[in-house]
Chains A and B, each alone.
Chain A
Amino acid sequence: MAQENITFTLPDLGEGLVEATVLEWQVAVGDVIERNAPLVEVETTKSAVVIPSPQAGRVAELHAEEDQVVPVGEPLVTFTVETSDDAPQAGIVGRVPTEEARPARRVRLKPPTD
């Protein structure tokens, strides 16, 4: 079974906020957490919030210490995720080549309007 590291950056918290201060991690390195479980408590100039985990996985690295200011888009946490590419896909007999199993994202290209 293969493993993959996925890094999650501080999401855009809206309202023009450009950074947040880490108040308290709700997880520690080595923890296995579910998607949407509490991940980290941060504070902006507007409010304090708890950011839920964007995915399930094992916490491999926390990129900010408590009281540290993190700019939006900077790394926050790295997860190690099991990738079971040998396992049969649900409802499908046999194996589906990975390229076909993952539909390519369609992107519409548009010239800039200004």
Chain B
Amino acid sequence: MSVNLADGVTMRYFDAPAQTPENTVPVLLLHGFGTDFDMNWRATGWTQALESAGLRVIGPDLRGHGASDKPRESDAYLPEHFVADLVAMLDESGVERVDVVGYSMGSRLAWELARSEPDRVGRVVLGGFGPKNAFEGTDLADPGSGDTAFDVVYRTVAALPGNDAAALAACARGQAARPFEPDPPLSGSPVLLVSGERDALARGAAELAERCGGEYVEIPRRDHANAVSSKAFKQAVLDFLTDRGGSSGTPVEPGVVKPV
């Protein structure tokens, strides 16, 4: 499915109806920098795990990523444009309210969405994310040229087939133009932070969780690249999302992952 956005950008997204239609809140999945919905959420087993739990899953290829349009102007990647994209997608899908699960840059955007659209966001999961400036020490005129944690991420994803390195560099600059602001903390939504023990990009995650009155789960022995697929991460999120007084603990048949 796709949605045409205000500034001429077309965004592709995935929307799988719940297997057991109940009053479950859909789960919005926001992928990280340089990946896409399939790589971040499908190949890692997330869509199957959530659908097996009876949840409706929805999620985009964020602008600049996957099968969505990839403008090369930094201004196109300011966080407010991503938020507008997500609101347009939810409107298009007839979804009033979601629980959001983000990873890395997707977590930052989940935060922005919850901040600017509090009525449309229930629970918030921030994976692979901390309050530190992710671009610290990185030369954003030439990302990938240094040895910061972000340079390493950039080099890995810029080489992936289908990615446009120039669009990704523009995306990094657009994100960096609006440094993450942890104040005021998210207080209206239940918040869960999850990250790998060795994730340098998620430093300070436990403190951020505490400031939001939320929980923090650390995945032992995992880093930024491989915490996302871990069973412990999925279990923590499923426990967090399905703890809805009475509806939890219902055994559900294993689901089938549907093609987009």
Residues of B within 8 A of A3 (CB): none
Of residues 41 to 93 in A, which have CB atoms within 8 Å of B's CB atoms?
A: 41, 43, 45-50, 52
Q: Do residues A23 and B229 form an inter-chain contact, with CB atoms below 8 A?
A: yes
Q: Do residues A47 and B231 form an inter-chain contact, with CB atoms below 8 A?
A: no
Residues of B within 8 A of A41 (CB): 45, 229-231
- Let me know if A11 is at the binding interface, CB within 8 A: no
Nearest chain A CB to B234 CB, angstrom units: 9
Contact-size category for A: 10 to 19
Nearest chain A CB to B155 CB, angstrom units: 11
Nearest chain B CB to A69 CB, angstrom units: 14
Residues of A within 8 A of B156 (CB): 45-46
Of B49, B226, B254, B257, which is within 8 A of A23 by CB?
Answer: B226
- Let me know if B161 is at the binding interface, CB within 8 A: yes
Residues of A within 8 A of B230 (CB): 23-24, 41
Alpha-carbon gap, A36 to B160, bound state (A): 26
The B contact surface, by secondary structure, is: loop
- Let me know if A15 is at the binding interface, CB within 8 A: yes
Residues of B within 8 A of A38 (CB): 45, 48-49, 231
Residues of A within 8 A of B95 (CB): none
Residues of B within 8 A of A26 (CB): 231
Residues of B within 8 A of A23 (CB): 226, 229-230
- Let me know if A37 is at the binding interface, CB within 8 A: yes
Q: Do residues B231 and A48 form an inter-chain contact, with CB atoms below 8 A?
A: no
Alpha-carbon gap, A52 to B254, bound state (A): 12
Alpha-carbon gap, A43 to B223, bound state (A): 11
Of B49, B160, B225, which is within 8 A of A48 by CB?
Answer: B225
- Let me know if B195 is at the binding interface, CB within 8 A: no
- Let me know if A34 is at the binding interface, CB within 8 A: yes
- Let me know if B44 is at the binding interface, CB within 8 A: yes
Alpha-carbon gap, A43 to B229, bound state (A): 9
Of B39, B44, B225, B254, which is within 8 A of A50 by CB?
Answer: B44
Mark interface residues in B229-240 (1 if CB within 8 Å of A CB, else 0). Answer: 111000000000
- Let me know if B165 is at the binding interface, CB within 8 A: no
Of residues 167 to 203 in B, which have CB atoms within 8 Å of A's CB atoms?
A: none
Residues of B within 8 A of A52 (CB): 45, 48
Q: A37-B254, A38-B45, A38-B48 are in contact. Are A43 and B225 (CB under 8 A)?
A: yes
Q: A23-B229, A24-B230, A41-B229 are in contact. Are A49 and B44 (CB under 8 A)?
A: yes
Q: Do residues B161 and A43 form an inter-chain contact, with CB atoms below 8 A?
A: no
Nearest chain A CB to B196 CB, angstrom units: 10
Q: Do residues B225 and A47 form an inter-chain contact, with CB atoms below 8 A?
A: yes
Residues of A within 8 A of B231 (CB): 24, 26, 38, 41
- Chain B interface (Cβ < 8 Å from any Cβ of A): 35, 39, 43-45, 48-49, 156, 160-161, 225-226, 228-231, 254, 256-257
14 contacts between A and B (CB under 8 A): A23-B230, A24-B231, A38-B45, A38-B231, A41-B231, A43-B226, A46-B156, A47-B35, A47-B43, A48-B228, A48-B229, A50-B45, A52-B45, A52-B48
**9 cross-chain pairs, A with B, having the tightest CB-CB distances, nearest first:** A50-B45, A48-B229, A48-B226, A49-B43, A43-B226, A38-B45, A41-B229, A50-B229, A50-B44
